[in-house]
Structure 1
Amino acid sequence: MALTPNLNPRIIEALYAEALVLSEEVRAVFDRLRQGHDKRALIGANDDPEADLAHVQLSCEALRTTTRIMHCLAWLLNHRAYFAGELSELQLRRHGRLIANFPLSDPLQVLAIPADAQRCVHDSERLYARIQRLENAWRGATQPTGSAIERLRSRLAMAIPAAL
């Protein structure tokens, strides 16, 4: 059961494993960085506004990155369910969409965070772009052309000569 030649259970499973590993790495990196900011705040080292801005930028990037990965995981889980026979293709098409054009991180904000967090942000953007390409290919490969009425007329025209 394959939706397109580019989308099959092995690809979905490989991407799912990659997304899980990335989500754990992102959690660990941003938790470690957040804890470092929290410790500095407790000892009063964060009295300057630049440190507060850095903390907000870090929080924003953490939220944006984890949300991006969660959207990827949701899309992958829906496709895993389809390949396992738990969802029909119609259910998958209705409820298994990836949010189109999820905003990329602001490059200037990303430069303001530590290198390991920057790598996590970029890895999440690359994963999202790969899944978005699969989504576009999958939806584009099976999108019906014309309106529903035109498709019905075409089917009727093919069925009527065969019946005579």
Structure 2
Amino acid sequence: MTKPATISPSIIETLYEDALLLADEARATFDFDDGFTSSAAGASAARVALSCEALRTTTRMMHAIAWLLNQRAFLAGDMSEFQLRHHGRLPPAQPAPDPLELAMLPPYIADLVDRSVSFYARIERLDRAWRTRFELQPAAVHRLRQRLGYAFAS
């Protein structure tokens, strides 16, 4: 059987700092100033695409930060493992960005969206690895049934 995944405080702290920087960059980037003020034919669709990606990106980052804050609370002893397993679940990822909508956005915004998707995928992998240590493996279930069968047969 494989060894359970551990998440060290240094990993969580580094990811937390990265998440804050990325979220701050997203906030600054999506602060609608003058990016799409033209009245060109595709400007309206581009504004809608920008709004959609802004919402998805900020939601993605806030979910990641919330998950990291729960991990920090657990590692600091402010939250039990039981509480973390039941209340510290990472929400499902936001829908993947639409390539056609991304193409309407400036490259630096498309890059920011891609980096937020990659960051969230890293957090998902950590969460999945950590949670697998709580899942019963089929071999363990079969051994338990076997032991119960022996106990009641004698």
Match of 1:25 in 2: 25
Distance 1:57 1:78 in 2: 32
The structure in which a higher percent of residues are helix is 1
Match of 2:114 in 1: 122
1:85 aligns with 2:77: yes
TM-score by length of 2: 0.82
Aligned residues: 143
Match of 2:105 in 1: 113
Match of 1:99 in 2: 91
Structure-to-structure mapping, 1:1-164, within 5 angstroms? 4-31=4-31, 34-37=32-35, 40=37, 45-46=38-39, 48-145=40-137, 154=144
Percent of pairs identical after alignment? Answer: 46
Distance 2:62 2:93 in 1: 15
The structural deviation recorded for 1:144 is 2.6
The runs of 5 or more residues in structure 1 that have no matched partner are none
Distance 2:74 2:17 in 1: 17
Q: Secondary structure at the match of 1:36?
A: coil
Q: CA-to-partner distance for each residue in 1:75-122, whole Å, 9 max, x for gaps? A: 000000000101000000001111124321112211110111111100
The structural deviation recorded for 1:137 is 0.6
TM-score by length of 1: 0.78
Letter in 2 for 1:107: P
CA RMSD across the alignment: 2.4
The structural deviation recorded for 1:130 is 0.3
Q: CA-to-partner distance for each residue in 1:5-64, whole Å, 9 max, x for gaps? A: 441111111100000000011111111xx21147x3xxxx43x55211111111111011
Q: Secondary structure at the match of 2:96?
A: coil
Distance 1:64 1:102 in 2: 6
- Mapped contact 2:71–2:84 kept (Cα < 8 A): yes
- Mapped contact 2:56–2:94 kept (Cα < 8 A): no
The list of structure 1 runs, each at least 4 consecutive aligned residues, that deviate by more than 2 angstroms after superposition, is none
The runs of 5 or more residues in structure 2 that have no matched partner are none
Distance 1:93 1:6 in 2: 14
Letter in 2 for 1:15: L
